[in-house]
Structure 1
């Protein structure tokens, strides 16, 4: 009986090993497409600059807000009955701008992270994609998760050492804490604000503004670095497709 060379093997065969998976990355056969996030990065920079400019205005108006709270304390009325000042009005605008800045920044982070995974699938990201959105406001973890998301996006697309991330995050945390203190000190919904908050309102607003300006300068640098690094990766990939 002759052997059929085209017949499938009848003996035991070794199982095909599964493809390698990467934690919070992507398997080699299922990477996302390389897409530029430059437009979203520009929008994030513009909104961050606008938000910082409004924070400067908030600082300039803080003495007026503190005076209104102090006057309310002197006549013995609660904070919510104090005079509504320009400081309060600009803070309302500031809150709306914060929401817009959050949405655009998270869109940029999500797109940049997907591009980073496509450019370097083997890089291990410390956090899953959902934390690009949740990391900024989930209690406790908001103190370090966003830093890890940005750090990994930058490192996974850079071809060399990166710097400035730690300084940016330290400045952001100072701003975050000081702005919360300013909210408690100057809000018209806190009875203690008329007695305790008025004297410290201007100081904490100054600290928040200074830290925000520092964070803005470093944030612009980070976005530009990510955009440049990813543009280089996309250009290399396009040259390989055309070769």
Structure 2
């Protein structure tokens, strides 16, 4: 009978990396869900106590979140949940207006029946979440819909940029829908964009997508200006 293979201990560095990734994911969800509002300080000692771990993986998790723009490491304050300025919101939506309609023109011509089925399933899921007031799902479902529309464009760099912009839009999208009451409009326009693509009216679909993004951006900027920013 052969001897059992020796058990290898997990190196501390790898263990910390694994724990820090889990902590980063948990904190990311709490930030995106609005539990941690922009401007809130994330104290390493308090988080270490809450998670029952040392401060090392907490610090690494916060650095991961800083790399994605969800927190800022501020001298003498530590990690602070990021918010967007009015100018940043305007910039994000202007970039989306420039990129997404042109990518849809390329992508929609390559849609298969399976693609349309997936898009319709996603619009139904989004519509259900909107009607049910499941605010925590709105940003993610919106992001998935827009990326699925553009997935066949064959422009990976542009899609990477759009993906980042949509991630930045997660919290603002939920704010815009909640504050403006545009839930029915968002649901209707997503469905109409898919209808137009399936009917071969791709340029009309791109025009509607452009108007859809422009309206959301204009509405959100107005909300930010009334409230003095995020």
- Considering fraction of residues, name the structure with more strand: 2
- Considering fraction of residues, name the structure with more helix: 2
**Fold shared per TM-score above 0.5:** no
TM-score, with normalisation over the residues of structure 1?
Answer: 0.30
**With CA pairs under 8 Å and 6+ residues apart, which has the higher RCO, 1 or 2?**
1
Q: Which has the larger radius of gyration?
A: 1
